[in-house]
A and B are shown apart, each in its own frame.
Chain A
Amino acid sequence: MDFVQPTTLTEALAARAALTDGLPVAGGTDVMVDLNLHRRSPPALIDLGRVPDLADISTQDGWLRLGPTVTYDRLMTVLRDDLPALALAARSIGSPQIRHRGTLGGNLGTASPAGDAHPPLLAAGAEIEVVSTTGTRRIAVTDFFVGPKRNALAPGELISAVHVPRARGPQQFAKVGPRNAMVVAVCSLALALHPDRLRVGTGIGSAGPVPLPATDAERFLEGVLSEGGLWEAPRPLDVAVRSRFADLVASAARPIDDVRGTAAYRVHALRVLAGRLLDRVWEGYEKAGPR
């Protein structure tokens, strides 16, 4: 197997175009598992770890631009204020060893329904920038996942950045698993309030063929907050609102029974998580308001 080590994005794209079945690798925490266990055997690995541009984090006009080879360890420390749900999700991933190596772009490349970074990106309204030798395009995160472990990348394309609006309100993430660390989520949920655009964002993980937004739950909560004037003057939410929101989140899931849990358990757990996360973000909003 060849090992190609580009040092610029141009070289990386040339390698990606020339080696159609070549497998891009960054932290190796997914790719090397497949190679070690002989699950796949690509003709070449294209190492993205020596392309400095791909590891950048920058901010422009209220949007963060996250390079795809930024590690979870960096996400959890650097984004605590700017993207709290993604920082929380990053901290929940694997172990220190995995977080030192695993990357945001790798999570998107693998496109597992259980990828922990995906629900926060859905809740925040992220866009994935992909590039090839013929040009660049941006894909809404809701369109990026097209099936279990399948994403919208075309042959020859690489993920070049993840664009995410900086948090303007509280964000939360929670996941269910048999222990706190080293867990593939049984299910997970991210919730974000966007008071600047009067929107609510959600993302469900590990409870469907792809990570899913709970669109009806978002519209319901937006309606309650707007009609009640709660964005401007937050006060405690009715129990009925909490319970309706939780039901709508649970009903957006499309889970299956598998080794990690049953579909029924996932729906139940999501209802519980939705209520808890709503409590947490709303408590945060009542205290601090928009920022």
Chain B
Amino acid sequence: MRLRLTVNGEPRLIDGVGGDESLLSVLRRVLRLTGAKNACEQGECGACSVYLDGALVCACLVPAGQAAGTEVVTVEGLAARGELDPVQEAFVQAGAVQCGFCTPGLVMAVHDLLRRVGDPTDAQIREALAGNLCRCTGYQKIISAVQLAAGRVNGHHDG
């Protein structure tokens, strides 16, 4: 099937998409956008998190055909002008990255949280990141990164 959609602001026309193919597969296989990671393929780990028409979703669970006509933003789209997003900066500064495999998905989830909640509580952070697994950090530095990013993004300085 032929798929027309917008990815990171750019209109794309993609041929040869399978009926059972996921949006994640199209992003990685065809568009070579490998920021969103292919890990569990069942919505457990959140490593493939992207925005689909503004909603945070697991790209592995979106049939590619359902993305026709939508706007998709991947982690690559957050740093589109060659400058890291404040969330990405905060991850670097807080040391919230170890092996890095979960990082793109977590960056997307934190980005989504901070555009909804300016100064999230610890409970709000944990609930928002519940669908993103990290097997290295133990999450503590990720939570520090969220607090750091919240201060930068929304002008709070209590992180």
Contacts and interface: CB of A to CB of B under 8 A. Distances in A.
Interface of A: 1-3, 5, 25, 27-29, 31-33, 35-37, 41, 44-45, 47, 49, 73, 94-98, 100-101, 180-182
Contacts of A27: 61
Given A45-B20, A97-B43, A97-B131, A25 B63 contact: yes
- Most-contacted residue by chain A among B44, B65, B68 (CB, 10 A): B65
- Most-contacted residue by chain B among A5, A96, A100, A180 (CB, 10 A): A96
A61 B42 CA distance: 40
B128 interface: yes
B63 A29 contact: no
Given A29-B43, A96-B131, A98-B131, A47 B57 contact: no
Contacts of A96: 56, 109, 112, 127-128, 130-131
A100 B55 contact: yes
Contacts of B112: 96
B43 A33 contact: yes
A12 to B, nearest CB: 14
B116 to A, nearest CB: 10
B65 A180 contact: no
B9 to A, nearest CB: 21
A28 B20 contact: no
Contacts of B42: 33, 36-37
Nearest to B127: A181
B46 A97 contact: yes
B58 A97 contact: yes
- Most-contacted residue by chain A among B1, B58, B68, B127 (CB, 10 A): B58
A181 B125 CA distance: 13
Interface residues of B, number: 29
B65 A101 contact: no
A213 B132 CA distance: 34
Contact of B65 (A3, A94, A100): A3
A3 B19 contact: yes
A29 B43 CA distance: 7
Nearest to A36: B41
A136 to B, nearest CB: 26
Interface string B56-71: 1110111101101000
B19 A32 contact: no
B22 interface: yes
User: Which 7 pairs show the lowest CB-CB distances between chains A and B?
Assistant: A95-B131, A181-B130, A1-B19, A3-B19, A36-B41, A3-B65, A32-B61
B3 to A, nearest CB: 10
Contacts of A3: 1, 19-20, 63, 65
Nearest to A32: B61
A236 B18 CA distance: 61
Interface string B27-71: 000000000000001111010010000011110111101101000
Contacts of B58: 29, 97-98, 101
B20 A182 contact: no
Contacts of B49: 97
Interface string B93-113: 000000000000000010010
B106 to A, nearest CB: 12
B61 A101 contact: yes
Contacts of B68: 5
A123 B57 CA distance: 30
5 contacts: A27-B61, A36-B61, A37-B41, A95-B130, A181-B131
A35 B20 contact: yes
